[in-house]
Amino acid sequence: EVLIDLTTNLDLYGGSLSACGACIRNCGDALAQAGASARMKTGVEIVIDELREGADCLKEGSLKLATAVDESNVDKDFELSKRLQAMIKPTQQAALRLEEAGASIMQRQSITVVGSHLIACGEAIDMLASSIVALSPDDKDAKLSSQRMNYCSTQMIIAGEELAGIKREKPKGKSWLKG
């Protein structure tokens, strides 16, 4: 949602970058549904379908980004074009890893394998978050969009690590109370 708002600030609303933002938002919706379905144990098929739906949204988003690059080249905004180009590879990588996570579940591979795909997807989303803030470093919507994607990335990596059996150090004492 916030990426779409950013396009208004960049005077690009309604273009391919807006469409990419919608694709990323739809991927987030699919991931939320997959997480809820997995948590409630309502069906592995739903989880697989939602993971793969999220991957399809990101694939479509990467195609929209390629179109946005072309649009910015036509407008002779080559700096924006370079920044948009930097978003394509992480979007494609996240799509690929999300698709692999769904396929791994479908093929009944170990949860360690599924976890490793989620970790790789989270890392790709983290790179995407960094490239989003680079679109307009001083814009509050760029920062907020990046922060939300970083949170998604962190949560996906944590989930992947739990599935892969990687233990995180837990906070000791009451240090978690400090704000």
pLDDT tens digits for 46-81? 888 999 999 999 999 999 999 999 999 999 999 999
pLDDT of residue 44: 83
The share of the chain scoring above pLDDT 70, in percent, equals 93
Helix then strand then coil, % of the chain, to nearest 5: 80, 0, 20
Q: In one letter, which amino acid is 136? A: S
pLDDT of residue 59: 97
pLDDT band at 168 (very low <50, low <70, confident <90, very high): confident
3-state secondary structure labels for all residues of 115-146: HHHHHHHHHHHHHHHHHHHCCCCCCHHHHHHH
Which pTM value belongs to this model?
A: 0.86
